[in-house]
Amino acid sequence: MSSKVTNRIALSVIILCAAVMAGILVSLLSYILFKGVTNISWQFLTTSASPFLAGGGIKDQLWNSFYVLIITMILTIPIGVSGGIYLAEYAKPGRLTSFIRTCVEVLASLPSIVVGMFGMLIFVNYFGFRFSVISGALALTVFNLPVIVRVTEDGFRALSLHQKEGGLALGLTHWHTIKTILLPAAFPSILTGIILSAGRVFGESAALLFTAGLSTPDLNFSNWNPISPNSPLNLFRSAETLSVHIWAVNTGGIMPDVSRIANGSAAVLVVCVLLFNLFARALGKMINQKFSGK
């Protein structure tokens, strides 16, 4: 076979691979949306799940997903960003740094169920938080931290040295340079990374199974006192999130309309993740234009 023919065949195969990849996405999305969107209605989004009758909605689960996400981000961002700053700015090459890097890597590649089991051991049982929003958020923090660290470090490393040197030359201390010059400059890329990671946290389920629980108390959406047990804001109540709900109704649900709920929830979940993605993309683009346009 001539090399030209081989070339053509091989290249076609490669293009086919890419087409398969794109095809998988298109068919996945269209399947989920096609199957699910018909089930999504205002009523589906705004009624509570029913324990055994048909016609349950996902109001509480949806709220829980966002609430757990927000709490996770509140915990993760300060720690993760400063961890990233440490690795980018303060870490000197050496044993300690390489150890911290290994730790970040370990955290990043832990199976999420292991994180969930750890969370159950420590937050649920040892600290006595039980199955709760805070246990779930803490477990997800372990899970999300390495992502934020990496995003921050990459953001800082992508900055030009001039900016840093400029700050130092002005007589600013290192921290002040970071705070006033580098962090704002790296902010857009960090923010984009954070929003993308939010999508991941939003869809996580295995880590939440043993930490945030498989149930939600009767939430009273007119009670915003975070201490009251049925307040949506209470950190110490159990909180089944949307992705856990999909798994739970599929493996243990006894309501007759399991597939309607599962497909509808999956569609809502995917739409949310898509929105996160589009939002991050648009934001990145906008900020990029602003910076380069100046």
CB atoms within 10 A of CB 84: 26
Q: How far is the CB of 47 from another protein (least distance, A)?
A: 14
Q: How far is the CB of 147 from another protein (least distance, A)?
A: 11
Specify the residue, 4 or 161, whose C-beta has the smaller distance to another protein: 4
In angstroms, the CA 117 to CA 255 distance is 28
Specify the residue, 34 or 165, whose C-beta has the smaller distance to another protein: 34
Specify the residue, 45 or 74, whose C-beta has the smaller distance to another protein: 74
Specify the residue, 45 or 170, whose C-beta has the smaller distance to another protein: 170
Q: How far is the CB of 222 from another protein (least distance, A)?
A: 13
Specify the residue, 221 or 291, whose C-beta has the smaller distance to another protein: 291
Residue labelled with tokens 């372990």:
142
Q: How far is the CB of 41 from another protein (least distance, A)?
A: 20
Specify the residue, 27 or 41, whose C-beta has the smaller distance to another protein: 27
Q: How far is the CB of 13 from another protein (least distance, A)?
A: 7
Q: How far is the CB of 183 from another protein (least distance, A)?
A: 7
